[in-house]
Structure 1
Amino acid sequence: MLTQNEFSILRFVYETPLCSPKEIAETTHLPFDSIEKTLNLMCERGYIADGRITDTGMAALEPYRVKRAIFLAAGFGSRLVPITFNTPKPLVRVNGMRMIDTLLDAVVAADIPEIIVVRGYLSEQFDQLRYKYPRIQFIENPGYNESNNISSAMCVRYLFQNAYVLESDLILRNPKLIRKYEYCSNFLGIPVKVTDDWCISTDKNGVIKSEAIGGKDCYQMVGISYWDADDGSKLANDLNDVFTSPGGKERYWEQTALVYKKENYQVRIRECSFDDVVEIDTYNELKKIDKLYAL
């Protein structure tokens, strides 16, 4: 097993061969002397040679390989009416590209082997994705209109190990947010001084402690998360417990790990910015981003 620092440095060398310790420090924010010490150690172990990752190094990274990406795409998208009367929100085109394509392209570029889309509303329209993404697997959520998105998570609750879970109505501007290797469970968030949106707060170690609507000095939630093997296994049972509890159908799926069963998890925040990803909540927001809808 690698330590967090060893993993971060080894992944960086894999992604950026012949990089300097300074380049590693600028991205990972690790202390410079720690980076040099770790690089020397990994060279001694045979993980790195001549500035590049070796086959032995690749084998060390393999336990952290992302196995699948799960897209939750079953909902109606009521706040984007009238566009969603005839088109599922993830398939709405923004500046010529379907929203879900910005995410799928990143998943394909990261060489993630399994792509699973949970669909419901106008489900047959998602078939068009197979022309561009032939590896897609579809899972039906027949109860999408009777509950919140926790019902979609229930449909794939045994597949959360080593998996990204993505809301399908985001516009991803920074595809590097989707990575081939992940060390531990994490949730993307944008640091903000104040927000009236869904947000999460953390302890001093970056572990998520609470989720709420509105907050100060917190992280605005982004609907992209990763779940390691242990947490993914726990989610299978915990999702069922929350879903079948009184009022469970009205929950959001991530509240299982961040609210109702949070004692079972140590999910870390992964920072991103408003430049990295865009969430379109309303038709007016869509018109501001894509002027064709304003005509």
Structure 2
Amino acid sequence: MKLTYNEFEILVCIEKEKRELSQREISKTTNLSLGTVNKTITSLLEKKLINEDNTITKRGLKELEPYRVKRAIFLAAGFGSRLVPITLNTPKPLVLVNGKKIIETLLDAVVKAEIPEIIIVTGYLNEQFEILLKKYPNIKFIYNEKYNEANNISSAYLVRDKFSNSYVLESDLYLYNQDLIRKYEYHSNFLGFKADRTDDWCLETKNGIITKEKVGGLDCYQMCGISYYDKETGKQMEKDIKEVFMSPGGKERYWEQVMLDVRKNNYKIYLRECKKEDIIEIDTFNELKAIDKTYDV
């Protein structure tokens, strides 16, 4: 049975809360109107995917399983040159911000969402990442020996067969809203927040689907470095990432350009909207000082 998007969102909400919810609570959590919630609840009851008290049934859990996130892939091989002098001795994802390593804000969300497999692609000062095993013993490390010779597509190339049903996360993101990482995802998507103007990497969309990636724009969505790929998209990525990486100039590409630019006709990737304050990419030492005053000395 193929769930509709509204059915999926409501089932995910109910499964996560694990308690009886009112339709008003479901509406607030899912951002669906009360009328839509009421209509969808009726459909879910008819299909025996929920109980009368709005709790999920065993059948409902079974129907959610194809949407289950299987793994989280962290791209963490880079140097982080704009955060010098901090990164001279510490990989950027391991930099402490308000007493917590940047990557831990993401890892904690992944663990909370019950995502079973964690892969971190390392490069610069790779041995330092082993400290994470004390808190996250199921991490698997993959070393990118070309981290200093090629762009981050070289990291994606090493895990090109792992993208199906997977999140991909840039490892220098300080995550405030853990609910952005979910146990289930409906379709392939890239996270972004609405921007009237930005000089950063951003996305144009049409009917919720990403149509263009570019640097700088008006009335667009600024990219946030967290994305998800369903089973079929992951299979296509395995082929395309290999071909683009091996092509002339391919090693200089950013990994997401494969899906959002170079081979974009092969993909349908949705924009998943978040709020600007949900997540922060710490690019420079001045930005770090603004967030953590202990560096402002």
TM-score (norm 2): 0.97
Map of 1:253 onto structure 2:
255
Whichever residue aligns with residue 287 of structure 1, its letter is K
- Structure 1 residue 151 corresponds to structure 2 residue 154: yes
Match of 1:231 in 2: 233
Q: Once structures 1 and 2 are overlaid, which stretch shifts more, 19-28 or 82-91?
A: 19-28
Distance 1:95 1:5 in 2: 38
Aligned length: 294
Deviation (angstroms), 1:164? 0.1
Counterpart AA for 2:68: R
Residue matched to 1:193? 196
1:250 Cα deviation after fit:
1.1
Q: How many Å separate the matches in 2 of 1:166 and 1:34?
A: 32
Pairwise CA distance, 1:225 = 0.3
Find the residue that maps to 1:269 and give its secondary structure: strand
Aligned to 1:121: 124
Matched with 2:47 is 45
Identify the range of structure 1 (44-53 vs 184-193) with the bigger mean alpha-carbon deviation: 44-53
Letter in 1 for 2:176: R
Structure 2 residues without counterparts, runs of 5 or longer: none
CA distance in 2, matches of 1:82, 1:23: 47
Distance in 2 between residues matched to 1:34 and 1:280, nearest whole Å: 39
> 1:24 offset after TM fit, Å?
2.2
Post-superposition CA distance 1:71-93 (Å, at most 9, x none) = 00000111001111100000000
Distance in structure 2 (CA, Å) of the matches to 1:152 and 1:72: 7
Other structure's SS at 1:48 match: coil
Cα offsets for 1:222-281 (capped at 9, x unmatched): 000000000011000111111112211111100100001110111000111121001110
Gaps of 5+ in 1: none
Is the partner of 1:236 in helix, strand or coil? Answer: helix
- Find the counterpart in structure 2 of residue 7 from structure 1: 8
Instruction: State which drifts further: 243-252 or 264-273.
Output: 243-252
2:94 maps to 1:104: no
C-alpha distance after superposition, 1:88-132 (max 9, x if no partner)? 000000111000000000000000000000001000000000000
Aligned to 1:262: 264
Candidates 17, 30, 33, aligned match of 2:32: 30
Taking the aligned partners of 2:262 and 2:191, their CA distance within structure 1 comes to 19
CA–CA distance in 2 between the matches of 1:294 and 1:171?
A: 18
The one-letter amino acid paired with 2:226 is I
Q: Which residue does 1:171 correspond to in 2?
A: 174
CA shift, 1:32, in A, is: 2.7
Q: CA deviation at 1:44?
A: 2.2
CA distance in 2, matches of 1:174, 1:33: 28
Q: 1:201-240 counterparts in 2 under 5 A?
A: 201-203=204-206, 205-240=207-242
Query: Which residue identity lines up with residue 195 of structure 1 in the other structure?
Result: T
Q: How much does 1:176 deviate?
A: 0.4
Letter in 1 for 2:231: A
Alignment partner of 1:74 is 2:77: yes
SS of 1:144's partner is: coil
Identity %: 60
**Shift, 1:282, TM fit:** 0.5
Structure 2 CA distance for aligned equivalents of residues 93 and 29 of structure 1: 34
Per-residue deviation, 1:26: 2.6
Supply the distance in 2 between the matched residues of 1:29 and 1:68 (Cα, whole angstroms): 26
| Secondary structure, aligned partner of 1:30 | coil
Q: Secondary structure at the match of 2:276?
A: coil
Offset of 1:14 from its aligned partner?
1.2
CA distance in 2, matches of 1:4, 1:246: 40
> What corresponds to 1:62 in structure 2?
65
TM-score under structure 1 length normalisation: 0.98
1:130 aligned partner: 133
Amino acid at match of 2:45: C
